[in-house]
Amino acid sequence: MTNKKCTRLLADLEELKRRFGLAPGQLAEKLRGLQECEIVHPDELIHFHETLLFFRAYPPNAFVLNQVERILKTFEGRVSKLRDADADLSPLDDPEVSGIAGTSVTSNFSYDLVRWLVRKYPTQVSIDWDWFEEEERFGATYASVSATFGRGRDG
């Protein structure tokens, strides 16, 4: 399917989000078309994901719900294709949209949540020190965080 057609289908899907009493068949048809689309721009992938999450939360029927969930399960592969194509994936790191399958979750978490994440997923959690601001406020907690992660500031 051409990129132009995919962009049009994505715009149509967005429009259906605003329509009350929409025919589920029309939505299912747009979703079917988008499922076949190869989205090559991270911003469009984000838009597609956000729209799917809306229909995941407010599906007009069980068929559409299942269809949306099937498409959402393809996102790790979609992100991998973009990564393999050397696309700029930095828009996927924005805290507003982070956490799409195949990407990282970027946020400020409480100390207790970080400790739980490190216990549960020790090899998948890291601190982005370059992103950290106001280091002087962090002094009292630094030793605990370093011990939690089992490494110093450079590791």
- Determine the average pLDDT of the residues in 85-90: 80
Write the pLDDT tens digit of every residue in 91-112.
Answer: 777 777 777 786 777 777 787 8
Binned at pLDDT 50, 70 and 90, residue 80 comes out as confident
Q: Taking the model in full, what pTM does it have?
A: 0.70
* CA–CA distances in Å: residue 122 to residues 20, 89, 119, 148, 149: 45, 24, 6, 10, 8
The pLDDT value given to residue 66:
93
Write the pLDDT tens digit of every residue in 16-37.
Answer: 888 777 778 888 888 888 888 8
